Structure 1
Amino acid sequence: MDVTLSGSLTRVVPIEETSQIGHARRVAQQVAAEAGFDTTDAGRVALVATELATNVLKHAKGGELHIAALDGIGARGVEVIAVDRGPGFNLVDCLPDGFSTGGTRGEGLGAVKRQSDVMDMYADPRGAIVLARLYPKGFGKADIRFGASHHALHSEEVSGDGWALALDDQRIAAIVVDGLGHGEAAHEAARVAVGTWLAEPMEDPVTLMGALAQAMLGGRGGAVALARFDARTAGLRYAGIGNIAGSVHLPEGSRGLASHPGIVGVQTRRAQAFDFPQVAGRLLVMHSDGLQSRWSLKDYPGLVSRHPALVTALLHRDFCRGRDDATVFAIRLEATA
């Protein structure tokens, strides 16, 4: 299995009043159509978006739906994530049909579970995150367990950040890039970096960083972090220049991944890679500086063991600075075969 993918922007639909439920449904159908879903499968996506938006409005009194197309193994899918800020709910109780905290018939999350190929949730008094991923019928095993929350600054149509992921049977490689500043020039810098990396994603990170520096010369430049995990050795090789933050996590704690100062393509310096042994099973998180750096998954008991897409959505919810593009990427470090 050889898979390479890079992401589009996450579409954020506010859910603050009833008319926005219909808008969320239409956005979800549009994303499904762009992903190649037929009418029947696009209808499943629309139903999930409707139910999640309705739940947000009735039980949390407002929040957002995050909607994105995503690549899986052999098929494109659609991700719909409901994000709210409270009061949260009991995960064990809320899935069976008939349970409701809002005086309704309590069929919403049960319907979401039946229609989705992947569903996961996290809730505490600070709020809830509900993840649903859908693929065309017959591709239910297409999902790759990663998360990517990718947002442009609210005044921009494009993001100056970028990310990409590559997999084979035993290795995982990832890039997160933050073009200097924001807007079109930063977007172009990120596009060049990701495109260059995708040509040889499993190459050594130091060699790749040199290639990126050459490709990005003459442009805005940016911060770049590269990670490559090999399940055969259980080791992670990591190289970063600039302010992309990286870390690996287990329930009992986390470890930061070092980057060097500089701007790839402008203030070019030779990268240095760091090797981290015995990281199999850990969660790798990488993010641009659109996210605050002072957060800890230990403040969210059990979250590190859930689907990585819940982690990225929650970190964006609670730690987005709101004054720059923001990208959060997460994946479990394990064999993919």
Structure 2
Amino acid sequence: MELTHAGEPTLIMAVEDGTQVGQVRRVAKQVAEQIGFDEADAGRVALVATELAGNVLRHAQGGEIHVAIVPGHGAMGVSVTAVDRGRGFDMTTCLPDGYSTAGSRGEGLGAIRRQSQVMDAYADHRGSVVLARMYPRGVTHADIRFGVTQQGLADEPACGDGWALAFAGDATCVALVDGLGHGHAAHVAAAACVGAYVEAPDGDPVDLMGRLGTAMAPTRGGAVVLARHAGDALRYCGIGNISGSLHDRDGSRGLASHPGIVGTAARRVQAFDFKATAGKVLLMHSDGLQSRWSLRDYPGLVTRHPAVIAALLYRDFNRGRDDVTVLAITLEDRA
């Protein structure tokens, strides 16, 4: 499969009272229509968004709904994620129709599961994250096990982070950029990086880093990490303060980046190679996310859909004073 996708910031909407549920529904439906969903499929997205927003209000007294366009195998999809800090729930208990903890008809999660090609969740005493992904009717096996939560600094008109995902042959290629600072100038730097990357993403990360540096030279520059996974091996190359790590049931390991700013004076670039990485979760995030977190503090989270992982880390570790991007992807042997 050949696929190249330049990402966009997540649409994040607060749900604190009943009047905001309608806004969530309208935005989710508009996003579905934007990528070509017909009336019936856009209606499914609107229904799921409504149910998730209503659940956040009923069971957690408020939270957020995240809406994003996601690339899939042969089709584009819409991801809708409910994020809250309520008391959590037991997924297996709450999924069957008729079960309710809030005096409702107990059809919410069951309806979401029926209308979505993908549904997953994580819940504990700190709150819940519920993910639903929808693709056009009849499309099966479209979902890519990745997720991104991205938001610009409050009150800034543009996000200074950027990301891209590509599949070329048997390789999975990922890029994450954090433009220096924030605001318009940071956005220009990030856009220059992503634009150059998607022109030819399937190259050696060291060579790609040089090309991205040239593209970012007229801008203020920024931090960049590139990852290329093929077969069972990962090649990782980073410059600047973007964090990367690999995770599985047995633990995690950090991935090193070199100090510097891409787009300034050229410096020697080095990549790091890792074997036996298929099945592991690659996590990368800009410095808008705190660095002191561990998936071990969330038992079982590493096995959930990567989009659930990204949204949960955003919920619990967003600094709130910079652009923030959290990207998680399960590395698969596509040979």
Q: Same fold (TM over 0.5)?
A: yes
Tell me, yes or no, if the aligned pair for 1:169 and 1:335 is still in contact at 8 Å: no
Which residue in 2 is equivalent to 1:242? Answer: 240
Which residue in 2 is equivalent to 1:157? Answer: 157
Which residue in 1 is equivalent to 2:104? Answer: 104
Q: Say which SS state the counterpart of residue 67 (structure 1) adopts.
A: strand
Tell me, yes or no, if the aligned pair for 2:168 and 2:202 is still in contact at 8 Å: no
Residue correspondence of structure 1 range 281-320 to structure 2 within 5 A:
281-320=279-318
Which residue in 1 is equivalent to 2:53? Answer: 53
Shift of 1:267: 4.2
Which stretch of structure 1 is more off in the superposition, 152-161 or 307-316?
152-161
Which residue in 2 is equivalent to 1:126? Answer: 126
Which residue in 1 is equivalent to 2:69? Answer: 69
- List per-residue Cα deviations over 1:279-314 (Å, max 9, x = no partner): 111100011001001111111111101110001000
Tell me, yes or no, if the aligned pair for 1:239 and 1:272 is still in contact at 8 Å: yes
Alpha-carbon separation, structure 1, partners of 2:7 and 2:239:
21
Which residue in 2 is equivalent to 1:114? Answer: 114
Structure 1: tracts of 5 or more residues without a match = none
Which residue in 2 is equivalent to 1:37? Answer: 37
Supply the AA of the counterpart residue of 1:262: G
Tell me, yes or no, if the aligned pair for 2:75 and 2:142 is still in contact at 8 Å: yes
- List per-residue Cα deviations over 1:227-247 (Å, max 9, x = no partner): 11111xx11111100001000
Q: Normalising to structure 2: TM-score of the pair?
A: 0.98
Q: Say which SS state the counterpart of residue 82 (structure 1) adopts.
A: strand
Shift of 1:168: 3.4
Shift of 1:140: 3.0
| Aligned equivalent of 1:329, options 321, 327, 330 | 327
Q: Say which SS state the counterpart of residue 102 (structure 1) adopts.
A: coil
Shift of 1:136: 1.2
Shift of 1:169: 4.7
Alpha-carbon separation, structure 1, partners of 2:169 and 2:215:
29
Tell me, yes or no, if the aligned pair for 2:55 and 2:108 is still in contact at 8 Å: yes
Tell me, yes or no, if the aligned pair for 1:176 and 1:224 is still in contact at 8 Å: yes
Alpha-carbon separation, structure 2, partners of 1:44 and 1:135:
10
Tell me, yes or no, if the aligned pair for 2:175 and 2:225 is still in contact at 8 Å: yes
Which residue in 2 is equivalent to 1:135? Answer: 135
Distance change (3 Å), C-alpha of 1:84 and 1:204: same
Shift of 1:175: 0.5
Moved over 6 A (4+): none
Tell me, yes or no, if the aligned pair for 2:230 and 2:334 is still in contact at 8 Å: no
- List per-residue Cα deviations over 1:248-284 (Å, max 9, x = no partner): 0011210000001100002431211111111111100
Determine if the alignment matches structure 1 residue 205 to structure 2 residue 205. yes
Supply the AA of the counterpart residue of 1:258: A
Supply the AA of the counterpart residue of 1:236: L
Alpha-carbon separation, structure 2, partners of 1:60 and 1:307:
22
Alpha-carbon separation, structure 2, partners of 1:285 and 1:220:
26
Structure 2: tracts of 5 or more residues without a match = none
Q: RMSD between aligned alpha carbons?
A: 1.1
Tell me, yes or no, if the aligned pair for 1:210 and 1:270 is still in contact at 8 Å: no
Q: Normalising to structure 1: TM-score of the pair?
A: 0.97
Determine if the alignment matches structure 1 residue 260 to structure 2 residue 262. no
- List per-residue Cα deviations over 1:19-41 (Å, max 9, x = no partner): 11111101111111111111111
Shift of 1:111: 0.2
Q: Say which SS state the counterpart of residue 240 (structure 1) adopts.
A: strand
Supply the AA of the counterpart residue of 2:261: I
Which residue in 2 is equivalent to 1:167? Answer: 167
| Aligned equivalent of 1:275, options 267, 273, 276 | 273
Distance change (3 Å), C-alpha of 1:280 and 1:66: same
Aligned length: 335
Alpha-carbon separation, structure 1, partners of 2:7 and 2:169:
21
Shift of 1:139: 1.8
Q: Say which SS state the counterpart of residue 194 (structure 1) adopts.
A: helix
Supply the AA of the counterpart residue of 1:141: H
Supply the AA of the counterpart residue of 2:172: I
Determine if the alignment matches structure 1 residue 26 to structure 2 residue 26. yes
Q: Say which SS state the counterpart of residue 331 (structure 1) adopts.
A: strand
Which residue in 2 is equivalent to 1:251? Answer: 249
Shift of 1:318: 0.4
